[in-house]
Amino acid sequence: MSDTLAAIAPVVALILLGWALRRAEFAPDAFWSGIDRLTYFILLPCLLVSGLSGANLDELPVGDAVLAVGAGVLAAVVLMHVARRAVAPKPGAYGALVQCSLRGNNYPVLAIVVALFDDVGLSAFALSLIAFVPLTNLISVIALVRTSGARAGGGKGAAPNALGLIVRQILLNPILIAVALGLAINLADTGIPGPADNILQILGRAALPLGLLAVGAGLAFDAAAGSGRAVLASMAVKLLLLPGFVLIGLYSLEIEGTYATALLIHAAVPCSVSTYAFARQLRGDAKTTAAMIAAQTVVSIVTLPLWLWLVTEFP
């Protein structure tokens, strides 16, 4: 348990520091949005390409991981749909609920997994991305597009070119592209030339601290006031039910060790701050989304260590 807390404490500290700096107006808003874009499109991909190109990928359980995560995600989606009228009767709130209950924040996942498992954690993190990101992005886009149309009244308000948006979100995701490139270099056994690898490593080292600071800067705790049952439902699904469903799948398929821990962390972390921009882009309920992000981030400080303790104590 002490190792778990030691891995989580710096993550929480950096997120809180980012929030405090934003509240103190240490830098303009454009600075924080620029840091977020720099980390997402450049720094984190550099870290993944460099790390995965030389990682030990023997017996990476991709098929079992996708199956375990897929079953857990679909179980959560069915549950949300059944309880929709009770917890999120408005279309916009339901779209926010689906997105914020499925999409995890990559930066805490990577920071915790690397802190726990060093370089081996990178391949486990990549496995979690492969298992979670395509499916959760696909379901989130579909939910937001459908509910934004209903929210606007009929189909007039629906985001244009929904199919194109879905394809771009999955195929042009810079994190997934970096994972694919790193894996390809690894499988080809060509390696990265020394100077180029040094550049990638230098840039990659900045990904986690800057990414976590940007996460904290993006939190809007004032949005959580009076947001209602949908926010509570998002916390219940994202922080309790989804990791519970995924854990059942991991045990059923006998996935254990580093890989099981990484997959469970990805299921149990709060939703990404980027879901707010995503909701605005697709004309969703951005205010409720902001409330869900803030509420989940605070409560996950308690729930995440418990899930990590559970997966390590009961192999």
List, for residues 253-269, the tens digit of each pLDDT value: 999 899 999 999 999 99
Model confidence at 214: pLDDT above 80: yes
Q: Is the pLDDT of residue 158 over 50?
A: no
Contacts 24+ apart (CB under 8 A), 225-232: 225/291, 227/287, 227/288, 227/291, 227/292, 227/295, 228/93, 229/86, 229/87, 229/88, 230/87, 230/88, 230/93, 230/94, 230/96, 230/97, 230/288, 230/292, 231/288, 231/291, 231/292, 231/295, 232/87
Is the pLDDT reported for residue 249 higher than 70? yes
The stretch 192-207 carries a mean pLDDT of: 93
φ, ψ of residue 203 to 5 degrees: the values are -65, -40
CB 304 within 8 A of CB 244: no
CA distances in angstroms from 22 to 43, 140, 214, listed in the order given? 21, 28, 9
Q: State residue 227 phi and psi, 5-degree precision.
A: -85, -15
pLDDT-above-90 percentage for the chain: 57
Highest-pLDDT range among 86-95, 193-202, 272-281: 193-202
| pLDDT tens per residue, range 30-89 | 999 899 899 999 999 999 999 999 887 777 899 999 999 999 999 999 999 999 888 877
pLDDT band at 232 (very low <50, low <70, confident <90, very high): very high
Query: Strand runs (DSSP E) across 135-227, as ranges?
Result: none
- What is the rounded distance in angstroms from the CA atom of residue 293 to the CA atom of residue 234? 9
223: which DSSP letter?
G
User: CA angle 259-207-12, nearest 5°?
Assistant: 70
pLDDT at 227: 61
Q: For residue 252, is pLDDT > 60? A: yes
Q: What is the pLDDT of residue 54?
A: 86
pLDDT at 222: 73
Proportion of the chain above pLDDT 70, given as a percent: 91
Tell me how far CA of residue 113 lies from CA of 19, 99, 150, in angstroms: 23, 23, 40
pLDDT at 314: 59
Arithmetic mean of pLDDT, 270-283: 81
Average of per-residue pLDDT values in the chain: 87
> How much is the pLDDT for 134?
87
Distances (CA, A) of 11 to 7, 14, 151: 7, 5, 36
- pLDDT over 90 (residue 92): no
- Please state, in angstroms and rounded to a whole number, the distance separating the CA atoms of residues 218 and 19: 7
Residue 55, pLDDT score = 83
Residue 157: pLDDT band (50, 70, 90) is very low
- Distance separating alpha carbons of residues 284 and 157, to the nearest angstrom: 10
39: which DSSP letter?
Answer: I
